[in-house]
Structure 1
């Protein structure tokens, strides 16, 4: 499971997150949406496709895993496989109805209230179970992506991690499903679009989703049985496996700690950002943000405290809190509302009411009478200038009681104004100060009972700590006194309103996003309907701003909740290169004392128990237990792949792809530029070039004005690179892609649209544009919006990273990138604008291509766009150096927390051209480049600036340009011939390892067959899950087959082992040869694979997937062929694949991100097996 202070790392998807990924709007906008901000920061096991799912099955074709790191949010997030990229917009349809009241009464439910929620076109009914008091929200609409979730208030009293361990454990078998892990069996043979478990600081949530009704109810039943009747409360070995236990293989050896959660949290506590987050939240330091309530402890578990947890306490926690009376239950979608209640009644009627609701109430933290300060050390690698690696963060608890929704909305809006874009004043001031490398804290957080505001910098000099604190306070005072620019207010309002109205939930089903939004208040006994209704609060806020002015609205909020708020905790983090070794020494000393206290009989018993637990882990479930888990049959699976309509056309020599899909009046557009002619030495500059295009000024305006113009006129423009292998070709697919989206809305406003700086546009002007482009557009009014994406991240195959980054706009806590805004235009005008972006970047074209319209001062759209992109000046040396420092800080943080991604990128770079290219722009090679670039910017800025101009001249051209449109009714260097000569191993100063091994299996003569999808998935879900995760204690282990390049990779995540894991990889061929599989197991494997291939997608994702297939030459005939091969997979295919996979064993490249101690031990055992390169200073 991932960690309490993580956001999505997602394996090799490192350019922006999750199909997820990623990425998203600013944190404040996400909070308003209830998008991802309510999601916890830890996941159980994304055993399918996480952020790479779409890319893997529509682009790279195969990727499976027994676990994935999750989206780094604020709680513990346990995502098994959000295969559904998103639920589509709700289509117009007759009004839906709920269950009959009389039928509900007969089933034991009383209707409390009922409302039609216009914002999500749904009828919501709140029921109460008469016998237990359980509350159920039944939301009915026409969304086929059905969602169920059950949430319990689970406030911990200490940091032993009971909620986290229990969340892992309840899914390890139950009364009706007595196998070891029905969770894993579900992901093997289900069409689930979401299969998760989340642990928050005060609640635990178990959601599932599926578009198949039969499958959906199967999932619901397994989950209900798991939470109410789990085996773990009777099975001590499950507690040991998932929580913690002493391990002793031989009485003569040292005792060690093992346990999935224990090992996970050791990894979490090794990251400085995570440590800071915990300090501000926890009571382990007396004067912290929450010293007096449940938030003062870590629900995920502190590795130093976890071993204090007893099995009796574990069982009692379940008995107290996992009760219907203490639950909130959610159903959503197009299934029968009565059937929902019938399923629930079978479980709830087995219980009586309990006192759990009163015992689980979250008590608020009272505000401090004076600020406090905390100084803590964090483990830092040796070398480098440690004096400049301090962190400081100011943290306010905003109120001692929950805020009303109107105040919360205003504060979220204020947060976006201050921090939401690169031009936002508070963010700009901090980053331009030169006092730190990147922002930490993330701003406003309203996920818990009481909201907080946290802000600071990392990469700070020891001498500048006080300067940072003063800068933050003075900046906030200035904002309260001077207010905000009206254009900034307009752009922020457009961003937030568009985000709410579009409700693009990325990798999460819409019903899940709505559930988390509602539960965020419901769990505190507040109205569950209110968080779903944003229209009136938003209109009221807009009216207040219009009437009183933004300063009158926001200045009092800054003064009351921040400047005059004495509940301030300042946290300073100091780097300590000895802390990690000291912590390990403390752990070893404690274990020595444990062993010294044991008799010979005790040691013999512990050795026996260790072997007994391992035997249980390695013993397969009996066939009868496996058959108990409900599964679909092959007859439930459609024979044909999901069809995306694609029309290929031509406009003035520019090729255009059009996808006629219902998008709820949203236009999604991509403009693609060929990167084939770019010099190799310029590759590492491409991510920074993309960032510079949008975050530097032009001849006429600085970058603040430019960002405001983008926000008001377009809602934002994103620019990112895409690189991937193409099967059968040596040269990679390499492009720069500009993305945008737009949404219809206020037609009347369109004809009165006025740019305060440019004058008015007439209806005739717009009509002339519409006529010119009516063969492409619907002529409807649209909101123009573009999604921000991450820059300067590391990628393995850039395509997967790009895809993940482009699904949503986002702002990470550490870098706060990717913000979207919105401005009203017509659909025709939207497309015209995007085309003009292309033409302006190209630098001209015929007059016929220059579409303009009258403005009060005669300035055309073309001229504005030319200023935005063609006229961007690469002259701001100071700002560009900020980009370099920020990129370096982000990449170093991700190496420490996501080392498996670096290992994967390194292996790809060794084995194929696209991998090498991607690694130059985002992996360890990119980090080396950034280290040198900072110095070069100081010494040869003219040279750097000239290189950026050369990239623009080379890349931005109409030659090879491609446009992709999705709406209702509507190649990096391809001559790169070599792989980097400087590829070696990459260690990390981490207490856990990330171990990878890969080879090109096409070199063995293997020819791709769709059965490889099934086989790879089965290897991850069985062999690697059992040997690397369950027995080995790693957080995750998985395999990945890049069907375009032929590279087959093994990877592990947060792995306490190194050589042992490599031995497991090498034994995979023998595992396949010895494999015995009955028809039911094979069918589950096939169905689970089809579920991955048929990932549910929003129209924009469908259109973008089709674009990627087009670029990579994947035809519909090939897709059909692969699907037939998947469906006809047999046991012999598994055994034949063993010879191909032996190439990894015999010729594979090994890359491990590992601690020096483990590398040294490995090289002692196998002489000079690993060559070491230290990447982190």
Structure 2
């Protein structure tokens, strides 16, 4: 039943359009504010995870990062909430399921999500006040953006965003993104880096920031959004009272200039930093990028998404296949595919890890394949497979990595801010129906290839070349620039810098009265937990089935214990997972298998998982083969997955080599972006069997294993690797050891095969991983270097797991340290993008970490001070309550019904029952300040040297740190 009517006026807003979308089970409402022209989209859906967002078009006029720094600074105090850090304070005072802020190329957004009604309006009040009435103090601008400080008598640049962008632009993938936009849009605002270029950020002034806010942060330039089961009228009433009644219409020029289309394509060369020890002979990236249609044209967006899937999605996709079979690169370049995040879309394709002299050949291959496709045509099977995949993507309800309501916002916000119809981006059934009709026209897609790629001269060949001296040159330039500035400063100006630094330090160290901020309390935390029960009708000893509302999508998994592999074989498990669904079976070669997976499913994934079983008091590990499909393809999908497991074939060593190199390339890509995760994994590797496995399978150790394998991949080595992988498969997929997990609607479950197919009947030799994995009792003190301008610093130590009485105390302690002590010391004072502490209750491991950090030793010393901080600090009841709220927010995080079912299955697999979960939650709710001090005294150390340490940074910073540490230095080696 539709709740809203077109033309209706509500609290000063007029409803422009209303549409019920049956496929997504939601009511779409678009409104316009009568007085200011502000825009609003509301999605009414039976979902308790309500979302709110306010966004603005923010058009950068240079690469100073003004929009990005403003995004940070508006969250550091406002008219009704004049405290230093209301955003991070509200994280502590809320049961939010998501809180963040984003800076895009031409927009800035402030979204949050929560299941609690009171919390929703608390957060809405703080967010609106921050966006429309921020204090924008100069000290906060200097903290979040950029400032000068004297350190050891020398000037240094400091600032959270400054360090964030130094870290971000250490990645070749991020540099390529900037290369694409600056090359294809030389005359528009997209040529600028909206996040900020560290070389340009220092030119930004506080006055510039305030002018930018006054220009763009106005209702006439605002796009509001809400989603969920809370009523729209209540949102509009609050919005009117807090904001809209205070504003009148303002004419704001926030249009992005359209780029004049070129008559001739271009070539552009950019550099990215690599370590001086890197062999650069095959470290170039080559990419062809085209400017395609405006993203406001929903039908053309769908066409380009379809072309992306057909051309590049899987090993059998024609463009990907020829590029990868050429052997000219290790993998597709990260930016390959269709990008609809700007006013005009971009389509790119290329390779990474290529030789300089092969770049022209790569471009030739790309155009040759595209030209051939316009002549030979695209098969109906390939088109139908890709259409099906688009349908699965559209219909699937998933709450990760963002809440589902926010994912819907991402679908329409870009065309919406550029004047498009927001409904068009969600009205999939209408557009797909129109597209299917057009696809019946002769050569419809082939003509699109001709239009967008072969005759489109607005394209560029983009080359990234490795530069061993780039990082050193940039650091030298920065030092020289600062020395030049310092030489020109008067005594009075130097004194002012010192005074500003002292003022900022005093601000950061002043304990504030946060009573002006709204808050939830313990009474608002639900005492119950969500319980998910398997459907006995469709379950047996080996098959566990869950009934769930899945929007016509079925989820299937086969789970096998990893309990029969040697230490050498264990190291190859991630590679085995990567190549298993790629290489083919005894019935199908790798191309036929790829086509079958594409035709029947939304993807087949193979992955590993490990955790401790507290019931059996031992570590467990599993390999999981998982697939999702439409209900119409259930039986065929199950048969295909069972064929992959029972009839795998690793004998195609030519393609095995290709997929191994592709796997290595993927590992390399994640190192800089996931530096904090990798540092923590490395630091924890000797603290438990599970931690050792996680490091072996997902840490730098895995990269080192694969790097060693790929150094010599001749025919003999490949044959040996093929035999090892085959042996692993035979050991793992034994019939009597596996379990099947089915998740879907009841009609779908009735179609499933509740049995295993043609698997090995033989029992494999059982080997206990707890005995195979040998832990080194020596504490880690390691530093790994690569080309990065920032550091990731981790310290880990063993505590107790969830079944211990201190577990709840440690959970709350980790939140107190993260949000109060480490946030203040590492981010506000130190300028790191992030600082945190985490308690892994499954393994009983406590950790400290920093992200995009300008320091190493200072950060380690902060970790040393954590114990003293807790023991000396007078915690208020409210501060303890805030930390408890954070723990419970994570415990009760909402998920789709399919995700909840999956979670219930894996909890049971690792011996976690609902009573354990409820008992733990009750214990968390009872934690006191006294408990925190006892836990800190018992588990935290006085000196970071007593923790296990891992640091990822550049070589110069690590060497500099070791000079200061002397005999207590880190063991340094290259990544």
Which residue of structure 2 lines up, in the alignment, with residue 433 of structure 1? 326
Q: Which of residues 609, 633, 643 is equivalent to 2:521? A: 633
- Deviation string 1:312-358 (CA, Å, 9 cap, x unpaired) is 111000000000001111122211221121111111110111111xx
User: 1:714: Cα distance to partner?
Assistant: 4.0
Q: What displacement does 1:587 show?
A: 0.4
Correspondent of 2:154 among 206, 231, 254: 254
Query: Which residue does the alignment assign to 2:3?
Result: 97
The aligned residue for residue 56 of structure 1 is none
Q: Aligned partners of 1:1008, 1:959: CA distance in 2, in Å?
A: 39
* Alignment correspondent of 1:775: none
Q: Is the 8 A contact 2:78 2:133 kept in 1?
A: yes
Alignment partners' CA distance in 2, 1:1081 and 1:312: 35
1:215-256, Cα deviation, whole Å (9 max, x unpaired) = 111111111111000011xx1011101110001146xx1100
Distance 1:919 1:882 in 2: 25
Q: Which residue number in structure 2 is paired with residue 854 of structure 1?
A: none
Of 7, 12, 16, the residue aligned with 1:108 is 12
* Matched-pair contact (CA < 8 Å) for 1:875–1:945: yes
> Structure 1 residues 412 and 1004 mapped into 2: Cα distance closer, same or farther (>3 Å)?
closer
Question: Which residue of the partner structure matches residue 760 of structure 2?
Answer: none
Superposition deviation, residue 691 in structure 1:
2.4
How far apart are the structure 1 equivalents of 2:539 and 2:50?
A: 41
Q: CA deviation at 1:270?
A: 1.6
Partner of 2:187: 292
Q: Does residue 599 of the first structure (1) align with residue 505 of the second (2)?
A: no
User: Which of residues 10, 21, 24 is equivalent to 1:120?
Assistant: 24
Conserved? CA contact 1:698–1:872, under 8 Å: yes
- CA, structure 1 residues 577+102, in 2 after alignment: closer, same or farther (shift >3 Å)? closer
CA contact (8 A) 2:398 2:899 kept: no
For residues 752-771 of structure 1, the aligned pairs below 5 Å read none
Residues 255-654 of structure 1 correspond to what in structure 2 (within 5 A)?
255-282=155-182, 288-346=183-241, 347-356=243-252, 359-399=253-293, 404-440=297-333, 441-545=335-439, 547-548=440-441, 552-622=443-513, 626-646=514-534, 654=541
Checking the alignment, whether the CA contact within 8 Å between 2:389 and 2:601 is kept in structure 1 is no
Does 2:722 correspond to 1:945? yes
Structure 1 residues 1007 and 1000, CA, compared in 2 at 3 Å: closer, same or farther? Answer: farther
**Which of 1012, 1016, 1020 is matched with 2:818 structurally?**
1020
What CA distance in whole angstroms lies between the structure 1 residues aligned with 2:538 and 2:83?
A: 57
**Distance apart, 1:963 and its partner CA:** 2.4
Query: Is the contact made by 2:800 and 2:807 (CA closer than 8 Å) also made in structure 1?
Result: no
717 and 246 in structure 1: CA distance in 2 versus 1, 3 angstrom threshold: same
Which residue of the partner structure matches residue 36 of structure 1? none
Residues 897 and 147 of structure 1: CA distance in aligned 2, closer, same or farther (over 3 Å)? closer
SS at match of 1:530: coil
Comparing both chains, which one has the higher relative contact order based on Cα–Cα distances under 8 Å and sequence gaps of 6 or more? 1
Mean Cα deviation higher: 121-130 or 576-585: 121-130
Report the 3-state secondary structure (helix = DSSP H, G, I; strand = E; otherwise coil) of the residue aligned with 2:497: helix
1:146–1:333 contact (8 Å) kept in structure 2: yes
Alignment correspondent of 1:37: none
Paired with 2:407 and 2:961, the residues of 1 have a C-alpha distance of 45
1:242 is the counterpart of 2:148: no
Q: Which residue of 1 aligns with 2:906?
A: 1108
Structure 1 residues 1008 and 96 mapped into 2: Cα distance closer, same or farther (>3 Å)?
farther
Which secondary structure state, in structure 1, belongs to the residue aligned with residue 698 of structure 2? coil
Find the residue that maps to 1:387 and give its secondary structure.
coil
Unaligned runs of 5+ in 1: 1-94, 283-287, 744-781, 783-823, 841-864
Indicate how the Cα distance of structure 1 residues 423 and 277 shifts in structure 2: closer, same or farther if over 3 A, else same. Answer: same
With over 3 angstroms needed to count, the CA separation of the structure-2 counterparts of 1:1005 and 1:192, relative to structure 1, is: closer
Q: Could you tell me whether the CA contact under 8 Å between 1:194 and 1:209 is conserved in 2? A: yes
**Could you tell me how far 1:975 is from its partner in structure 2?**
3.3
1:604 Cα deviation (Å)?
1.7
Q: State which of 659, 665, 676 in structure 2 corresponds to 1:883.
A: 659
CA contact (8 A) 1:377 1:576 kept: yes
Residue 651 and residue 151 in structure 1: after superposition, are their counterparts in 2 closer, same or farther (change >3 A)? closer
Cα-to-partner distance string for 1:6-36 (whole Å, 9 max, x where unaligned): xxxxxxxxxxxxxxxxxxxxxxxxxxxxxxx
**CA contact 2:79–2:134 (8 Å) conserved in 1:** yes
In 1, Cα distance between equivalents of 2:500 and 2:843: 45
CA deviations 1:544-591 (Å, max 9, x no partner) are 32x235xx0111111111111111121111111111000000000000
SS at match of 1:959: helix
Matched, 1:1122 2:920: yes
State how far apart, in whole Å, the 1-side matches of 2:897 and 2:729 are. Answer: 31
> In the TM superposition, what is the alpha-carbon distance from 1:402 to its structure 2 partner?
5.2
3-state SS of 1:937 partner: coil
How far apart are the structure 2 equivalents of 1:1121 and 1:241? 42
Aligned to 2:546: 659
**8 Å Cα contact 2:835/2:851 also seen in 1:** yes
Q: Pick from 717, 725, 734: which aligns with 1:957?
A: 734
Q: Secondary structure at the match of 2:78?
A: coil
CA contact (8 A) 2:12 2:33 kept: yes
C-alpha distance in 2, partners of 1:740/1:436?
A: 29
Shift of 1:257: 0.2
| Structure 1 residue 167 displacement after superposition | 0.6
C-alpha contact (below 8 Å) 1:733/1:1111 kept by paired residues: no
Structure 2 regions of 5+ residues with no counterpart? 750-766
In structure 2, what is the equivalent of residue 228 of structure 1?
132
Return the alpha-carbon distance in structure 2 between the equivalents of residues 511 and 1007 of structure 1: 37
Q: Partners of 1:709 and 1:1003 in 2: how far apart?
A: 44
Q: Determine the structure 2 residue equivalent to 1:735.
A: 622
CA contact (8 A) 1:717 1:738 kept: yes
Q: Secondary structure of 2:923's partner?
A: helix
**Offset of residue 729 of structure 1:** 6.4
Counterpart Cα distance in 2 of 1:920 and 1:111: 56
Which residue of structure 2 lines up, in the alignment, with residue 201 of structure 1?
105
Partner of 2:709: 933
Structure 1: how far apart are the matches of 2:249 and 2:60? 22
Q: CA deviation at 1:921?
A: 2.1
Question: In the TM superposition, what is the alpha-carbon distance from 1:170 to its structure 2 partner?
Answer: 0.7
* Residue aligned with 2:89, SS: helix
Moved more, 1125-1134 or 911-920: 911-920
Relative distance call for 1:101 and 1:1084 in structure 2 (3 A) is farther
* Kept in 2: contact 1:418–1:426 (CA 8 A): yes
Return the alpha-carbon distance in structure 2 between the equivalents of residues 468 and 334 of structure 1: 51
Offset, 1:1101? 1.6
**Residues 729 and 723 of structure 1, relative CA distance in 2, 3 Å threshold:** same
CA distance in structure 2 between the partners assigned to 1:402 and 1:1108 by the alignment = 41
CA distance in 1 between partners of 2:71 and 2:369 (Å): 42
CA displacement at 1:908 relative to structure 2: 2.2
Q: CA deviation at 1:676?
A: 0.8
Matched residue SS, 2:967: coil
State the partner residue of 1:1167.
Answer: 966
Q: Offset of 1:633 from its aligned partner? A: 2.3
Residue 912 of structure 1 corresponds to 688
SS in 2 for 1:365: coil
Counterpart of 2:407 in 1: which secondary structure?
helix
- What TM-score do you get using the length of structure 2 for normalisation? 0.94
How many residues align structurally?
950
1:181 to 61, 85, 95: 85
Q: How big is each residue's C-alpha offset from its partner over 1:960-1006, in whole Å with a ceiling of 9 and x where there is no partner? A: 32223334457993432412699744223311111011111249997
How far is the alpha carbon of 1:935 from its aligned partner?
Answer: 4.2
In structure 2, what is the Cα distance between the partners aligned to 1:197 and 1:236? 21
CA contact (8 A) 1:99 1:337 kept: no
Q: Is the 8 A contact 2:645 2:729 kept in 1?
A: no
Matches of 1:1052 and 1:730, distance apart in 2: 32
Q: TM-score, normalised by structure 1?
A: 0.78
